[in-house]
Homo-oligomer: A and B are copies of this chain.
Amino acid sequence: MNKASQFSDEPTRVAHLMKHFLSGQSGSILSSDDQPEIRLTIGADQKDDCAVYEMRAPVALVVGSDYVRGPKFMLYELGLLSNFDLGYYVVAANVSDVAAMGAMPIGILTVVRYPNDLDDDGFHELMAGIHQAATDFGTLNVGGDIGQAERIILSATALGICEVGKVLTRRGAHEGDLLCVTGSCGILGAAVAYFPKQDEKGWKLESSLERALLQSWQKPQARVAEGQLLASKPFATSCQDTSDGLKATIEQIGEASHVGFEVFEDSVPLDPAVEAVAELMGVEPLALAMSASADFHLTFTIPQVDSEVCREAFDSMSLNFHIIGRATSHDQGIRSIGPDGAERSLPGVAWKHQKNDISTLVTDVSPKS
């Protein structure tokens, strides 16, 4: 027998269902010992018009906003993602943008609107996902907007701080710099290509791979430690997160930095789940790894001379990255270099915001010849 659903009004939800997520945050010191003091003097627990930070600077404040489709995620519509997962995702997506600038997150503001048929348990799950993600990324949900709408609407703003002059941008890559990525990409896109077509196509991957595909959407990790490491050292010349897909990210860094790139096909890390889905789809694994996928890895460039010291710095923090290419002159464009030295355009389909559905993009990838 199901427990009867409760539908409390907004003041009750704020007062009772969210209170334990927010209490005690005002007064928190958010910076570490060696940084200028950042104190959250008014947090969400104070229920004022805004959150307030006191900053003993100078400091670079980094701030970005992302809406996420949330309830329109195909895997949510299929019942494979929970409200908790949506809450987690909206935070990860926003913190990722701050991480890509090399900043330390100091807070997130979340817009959570929900329909009348989202009961108290569903609402609590959503807020719990937000809280868990904020906690995992070492930050706080300091406010935002809660209220009613005709469906779940999720958006957020992440704030971070960085030492002045050390913010990582997309525009500093030079010819000869090495192109790097913090991990294998494309798994979120692969999940969207796999699950909705599974029944129609009779696809059945082994359960460990299915779990990996699903987990990619459940707790996507913003690369906060990697971003901060890159900002703290002098070697990264550009950085961007891969939330538009790896190919699109490489193109955008190239455009912003006015360089081209050659990508060494053999060096691009491939996730086994991406390889398995690519095989089912009859497409090249590299193409799927490059295509639209809301991964939150970091793509960055470093001068070749710094590659060893960068590797040592990553190793010392048990972090990893892969060198997957090299910056060239801008007029050479973005090229893919095969193991035999053969050149071609970089495969994969970049995320086009204009289209609504990752799966249509991924299936645009041309079949293996």
Binding site for B on A (CB under 8 A): 9-11, 36, 41-42, 46-67, 69, 72, 97-98, 100-101, 103, 107, 109-111, 113, 142-150, 153, 155-160, 162, 164, 167, 169-171, 240-241, 256, 352-356
Contacts and interface: CB of A to CB of B under 8 A. Distances in A.
- 9 closest pairs, A vs B, by CB? A57-B57, A50-B64, A157-B157, A65-B109, A9-B354, A10-B353, A147-B353, A49-B97, A49-B100
24 contacts: A9-B352, A9-B354, A11-B353, A36-B57, A41-B60, A42-B167, A49-B97, A49-B240, A49-B241, A50-B64, A52-B162, A53-B61, A56-B57, A57-B59, A63-B109, A65-B110, A65-B111, A65-B143, A65-B145, A65-B155, A67-B113, A72-B150, A145-B155, A146-B353
Given A55-B58, A164-B54, A69 B149 contact: yes
A42 B169 contact: yes
A49 to B, nearest CB: 4
Contacts of A46: 169, 171
Contacts of A148: 353-356
A358 to B, nearest CB: 13
Contact of A157 (B11, B61, B65, B352): B65
Q: Is the interface of A mostly helix, strand, loop or mixed?
A: strand
A64 B109 contact: yes
Contacts of A144: 64-65
Contacts of A50: 62-64, 97-98, 100-101, 103, 158, 160
Contacts of A61: 52-55, 61
Given A67-B111, A67-B153, A145-B155, 7 more contacts: A49-B64, A49-B98, A50-B103, A54-B61, A57-B57, A63-B157, A72-B150
